Structure 1
Amino acid sequence: MSFDDALGVLRAVAEPLGWSVEPEDEDPRTARLKFGVRGVRLAVASNRATIAPDGWTLLQQTRAQFGVEAVVGVGLDHVVFTAPFDVSHPFDVSHPFDVSHPFDVSHPFDVSHPFDVSHPAGGNSGPISTYAVPGSGGRQPIAYVGPAPRRCADDRVDGRRPVVAVLDTGCGAHPWLDPVVERGVALDGVPIGYTDPVDDPELHGDLVGQLDGMIDPLSGHGTFIAGLVHQACPDADILSWRVVPSAGPLVESDWIAALAQIAELARRFRAGEPDGRPIDVLTLSMGYYHETPEDLLFDPTLYAILEELSRNGTVVVCSAGNDATSRPSFPAAFAPWTDGEGPIAVDGTCLPVVSVGALNPNGETDALFSNAGPWVRAFAPGAAVMSTFPAFQGGLQPVARSVAFGRNRESIDPDDFRSGFGVWSGTSFAAPLFAGCVAAALQDRFADGDDRDSAVTRGWQVVESLTGMTP
């Protein structure tokens, strides 16, 4: 169905309601690409008195009058969520540890709201809320005293390095990451994602409520993810783009535009065209739930882009979500379901989406917050994992401070990340850790040729070895 066809049926339904439907200019980021999203503006028609225009009502009426097939690929511009576990609002906890003794969290209901982000990562389960408490997996600084991941010199790498792409909040400066992360890669001179440093969550920790001194819920998220990829595969090169704001959620149309541009980079590389970039793995730590079963009709727009990436040899890895539910979260639920009931059938010519849930630190049990079900096909550590963090220092203060023998003494400052490392929890982090494992497994499989067919074959070999999924 063409854009003009969809516009026609929408206008036919809108006219009796007293509304007009006008197309917006095509997004310049995707105007010349195979995939993209084009918006329409809904307004009150001239010289009409009517109810306020409503996009959801128009879409429902169009489906009812013309049938759902008439508007396949048409949907609302949703918000998409990413959700680590964090207690970042100054009024959510009465004390950084919220207990009478600073080294003990003994009551599961000490956190009034467990997530404090707008992701449907909600739930008021007391046991799940403990993952958001510092000391139990919530975001907190740590001192890492081990060596940096060991990366081979370029002349010791056979073929080329595996490339992992991260689309998230960007990536901040860090000694581990500066030599391996490439930021700001564009397509034909057009930026991918957001590039304004003024609202960069990895440069500025406090962008929302700037006078409250609190580090925003998602600030540092992308840097943390990049560090996990680097730990799992030190020899991988990492491409980082920003499409997630510091407090979330992200705008679906911006997300899809960035994915379309990234898919074009991968396609050009496999086709041997100029300005392509190899992308062996793409990790996505965000998702959404369908409002109604009919919302599946919009997914072809998103899945077509992911399929393009997959057919060009990119393994797309998606976090399963943190709601402790079996309700399918997309794009993770595009993975092949173990019961065969999923929306996407296995295709040996196309790599599968890999959905990843979170394990506890013991590496054996699933984290209580992790989504689960036949659509979750892999698990990786995602609770209380350690990784890189921008050198933020928030407004919280140590509980106690004194001076003795000429030396300053104080308890831990709960949001002083100048060490460059922290602990955090969420399937947001299980996915990139698994993506790094995919890259490490791919590293030894690069042959002299690197065309589309060999990339898909190689990717399936790795996916099968790590998940048991078969083409």
Structure 2
Amino acid sequence: MATMSPSGDQASGGSGDEGEGLSEVVGLPPGVVIRHRARALNPSTAVPSRGNRKPDTTIYRADTLLVPLRIARDDEALARFNEALQPLGVELVRLLPETDRWQAALRTFDDGMAVPVLVRLREDAVADRAPDPWTVLVNLRRKFSDDDLAGISLEHVAHAASVEMHGTPYGSGVPYGSGVPYGSGVPYGSGVPYGSGVGQGGGAGIPLASGTRNPVRLFMPEPHRTCDPTSLPSGRRPVVAVLDTGIGTHPWLRIGDVASDPVVEVSPEFQGLLADLETTLTDASGGVLPSLASYEDQRDVLQPLLGVTDSHSGHGTFVAGLVVQNCPDARILSLRVLHTDGITTDASVLLALEWLRARVQNAIDTETTEGLVDVVSVSLGFYPEHTDNQTGLLLAEAVRKLTDLGVVVVAAAGNDSTTRPFVPAALAFNPDGSNTGNPLLVAVGALNASGTSVAAFSNEGDWVTRWAPGNAVVSTVPLWQGPEGGGLDTAGDGNPAMRRTSPDPDDLTTGFAVWAGTSFATPVIAGLIAKHLAGSAAAQGQAERGARAAEALAQADQELKERGWVN
């Protein structure tokens, strides 16, 4: 695989520098490297872990480590770490937002929640390059015990598990940019990804996916809610939290406060917390990220002067529509954590999971229903450098805290045609014993549209526990019109008012599109679980909620079996 340096040059081998020497499984276009302060871990040049163990490839923030709150707030612990790092000329700097909402949230957050800590050069250091968080982490692990460092990790760069219209896969199936192939996806025609250059006939590749946010016309009514929420057996709607790019305007997806019984609920509080966190870090380290302060799915953030529709714009709206199609009685809680290029970090995901945990715990403690959440749909992830209990600890614990409250977490398995663990989905089951596994964490692989075969792009392995169609599925998109036009545009013959054109790839004013990825198999499963929760009696206590969730999952499994969606 050819990889790109931040300057756009091809790199082979690699020096371990930012954006260079990416191995075959993961890669990043230069614009993403710079925009998200990203760095690639190159196994051939990286400092080995304890026991001289080489890491695997991963992408991570170039200037931070994740540290549990209890350690980040402990001045003595940070001082000990900084003393040990002095020979490297490096120090860890705590940078928590000082806004009123953050200070209020900290009083409800668990002290194990991870926050980014800045990794920077000491003022007295002499160096010709910025410090590498991986090197810092390895040196800390050599000097301190696992107990001292429990929960300290890289801040991984995570990506959406979908295929997009320009065919530029991140890794080998999740695209960015506009047409440059990465991983094993080769763009062909209008951007449908093709396999690793396998010739067929006259040289075209073998198709791996059908549908890359292509607009379609749908002739069917809006999914109909069966009854008022108080008439459901539980007396309320099942709530599905969607961690994605936000929610756009669509007639099926009415946004409102809980009292108005909306289809979609949003949280300015959460968006403010996430924006505060990202702003605090970018102010200290330089660079600017597009803000996630708004809950809205946005269209042209990356190139606003051109108005080009970004690669993953509409992703969250598409996911929400799939939940609604499978459970019209659900209420969606949309939390925007993904940027429009499909990128986020595990710090943002961990903040969302902890915010949800605090919300659900408060609802249980106060015996109220407004804050309850039943299912979390996560159509994103990353490939960790190791599959040990230290590397997966942060996400495993965050998910476990939610599932202990009776919340089912449904996560995408990834689109790289690999068995390599993709987290958080792979935390559902690890046969090597690296994590305990979690029966209420559901890892979802993608089937083709027929439901009778596995989609060629889908990851697979013992850790993939459920399957649903994720190739060529149709769902909602915001009603947008982008600047691109069809390749053909001529005057019509019989009707001068209507021109003859080829399809316009970013005319989404129909409100519907076809797309592909394990991203979209995930909300299908989330919606089916929510459907069975909608038909079950209320449960308020922690143990009762856990039993109710397990029963709904078992009922969904039976439905999957009846549909033949098994592998």
TM range (shorter): 0.7 to 0.9
TM-score (norm 2): 0.70
TM-score (norm 1): 0.84
Other-structure match for 2:269: 186
2:119 equivalent to 1:31: no
1:385 to 473, 481, 486: 473
Other-structure match for 1:119: none
Other-structure match for 1:175: 251
1:18 to 72, 84, 89: 89
2:552 to 443, 447, 462: 462
1:353 to 441, 445, 451: 441
The verdict on how the C-alpha distance between 1:377 and 1:16 changes in structure 2, with shifts beyond 3 A counting, is same
How far apart are residue 221 of structure 1 and its match? Answer: 0.3
Inter-partner Cα distance in structure 1 for 2:410 and 2:157: 20
Matches within 5 A, 1:58-77: 58-77=136-155
Question: Which one is further off, 245-254 or 29-38?
Answer: 29-38
Secondary structure of 1:238's counterpart equals strand
Inter-partner Cα distance in structure 2 for 1:373 and 1:206: 36
Other-structure match for 2:378: 284
User: Which digits, 9 at most, give the CA deviation of each residue in 1:116-150, with x for residues without a partner?
Assistant: 9xxxxx96667987355xxx322200000111111
Letter in 1 for 2:132: D
Inter-partner Cα distance in structure 2 for 1:261 and 1:220: 24
The verdict on how the C-alpha distance between 1:386 and 1:462 changes in structure 2, with shifts beyond 3 A counting, is same
The verdict on how the C-alpha distance between 1:315 and 1:77 changes in structure 2, with shifts beyond 3 A counting, is same
Inter-partner Cα distance in structure 2 for 1:91 and 1:219: 14
Inter-partner Cα distance in structure 1 for 2:506 and 2:426: 34
Question: Which one is further off, 250-259 or 66-75?
Answer: 66-75
Other-structure match for 2:401: 308
2:149 equivalent to 1:92: no
- The structure that is strand-richer by fraction is 2
Secondary structure of 2:325's counterpart equals helix
Q: What are structure 1's unaligned runs of at least 5 residues?
A: 94-107, 117-121
Secondary structure of 2:119's counterpart equals strand
Inter-partner Cα distance in structure 1 for 2:150 and 2:196: 32
How far apart are residue 446 of structure 1 and its match? Answer: 1.9
User: Which digits, 9 at most, give the CA deviation of each residue in 1:387-427, with x for residues without a partner?
Assistant: 00001112221223323234403332221010100100000
Inter-partner Cα distance in structure 2 for 1:125 and 1:112: 18
2:432 to 311, 322, 341: 341
Secondary structure of 1:20's counterpart equals strand
Secondary structure of 1:166's counterpart equals strand
Contact 2:238/2:374, CA 8 A, preserved across alignment: yes
Other-structure match for 2:220: 146
How far apart are residue 71 of structure 1 and its match? Answer: 1.6
The verdict on how the C-alpha distance between 1:408 and 1:292 changes in structure 2, with shifts beyond 3 A counting, is same
Other-structure match for 1:240: 334
How far apart are residue 248 of structure 1 and its match? Answer: 2.8
Inter-partner Cα distance in structure 1 for 2:465 and 2:205: 22
User: Which digits, 9 at most, give the CA deviation of each residue in 1:160-203, with x for residues without a partner?
Assistant: 1111111111111111111411112636xx84545998986955
How far apart are residue 300 of structure 1 and its match? Answer: 2.0
Question: Which one is further off, 239-248 or 44-53?
Answer: 44-53
Inter-partner Cα distance in structure 2 for 1:228 and 1:353: 19
The verdict on how the C-alpha distance between 1:293 and 1:83 changes in structure 2, with shifts beyond 3 A counting, is closer
Secondary structure of 1:39's counterpart equals strand
Question: Which one is further off, 405-414 or 310-319?
Answer: 405-414
How far apart are residue 320 of structure 1 and its match? Answer: 0.4
Inter-partner Cα distance in structure 1 for 2:443 and 2:319: 16
Contact 1:59/1:75, CA 8 A, preserved across alignment: yes
Inter-partner Cα distance in structure 1 for 2:274 and 2:90: 32
The verdict on how the C-alpha distance between 1:301 and 1:203 changes in structure 2, with shifts beyond 3 A counting, is closer
Other-structure match for 2:17: none
Secondary structure of 1:297's counterpart equals coil
User: Which digits, 9 at most, give the CA deviation of each residue in 1:363-398, with x for residues without a partner?
Assistant: 110100000000000001100100000011122212
Inter-partner Cα distance in structure 2 for 1:112 and 1:176: 28
Other-structure match for 1:99: none
Inter-partner Cα distance in structure 2 for 1:462 and 1:124: 43
Matches within 5 A, 1:206-221: 206-221=300-315
The verdict on how the C-alpha distance between 1:240 and 1:150 changes in structure 2, with shifts beyond 3 A counting, is same
The verdict on how the C-alpha distance between 1:274 and 1:9 changes in structure 2, with shifts beyond 3 A counting, is farther
Secondary structure of 2:246's counterpart equals coil
Inter-partner Cα distance in structure 2 for 1:263 and 1:198: 21
User: Which digits, 9 at most, give the CA deviation of each residue in 1:422-469, with x for residues without a partner?
Assistant: 10000000001110000001111123x432211110111122333489
Other-structure match for 2:529: 438
Q: What are structure 2's unaligned runs of at least 5 residues?
A: 1-67, 169-176, 181-185, 255-261, 277-289, 561-567
1:205 to 296, 299, 313: 299
Q: How many residues align?
A: 438
Inter-partner Cα distance in structure 1 for 2:376 and 2:302: 28
Letter in 2 for 1:433: V
Inter-partner Cα distance in structure 2 for 1:465 and 1:291: 36
Other-structure match for 1:271: 365
The verdict on how the C-alpha distance between 1:71 and 1:287 changes in structure 2, with shifts beyond 3 A counting, is same
Instruction: Tell me which of the two structures has the higher relative contact order, counting C-alpha pairs closer than 8 angstroms and 6 or more residues apart.
Output: 1
Inter-partner Cα distance in structure 1 for 2:411 and 2:495: 52
Other-structure match for 1:42: 119
Over the aligned positions, Cα root-mean-square deviation in angstroms equals 3.1
Inter-partner Cα distance in structure 2 for 1:200 and 1:26: 18
Inter-partner Cα distance in structure 1 for 2:297 and 2:533: 32
The verdict on how the C-alpha distance between 1:113 and 1:425 changes in structure 2, with shifts beyond 3 A counting, is closer
Contact 1:334/1:343, CA 8 A, preserved across alignment: no
Other-structure match for 1:423: 514
The verdict on how the C-alpha distance between 1:149 and 1:194 changes in structure 2, with shifts beyond 3 A counting, is farther
2:541 equivalent to 1:451: yes
% identical aligned pairs: 35
Other-structure match for 1:319: 412
Secondary structure of 2:491's counterpart equals strand
Contact 1:84/1:427, CA 8 A, preserved across alignment: yes
How far apart are residue 31 of structure 1 and its match? Answer: 2.0
Inter-partner Cα distance in structure 2 for 1:203 and 1:40: 29
Contact 2:353/2:402, CA 8 A, preserved across alignment: no
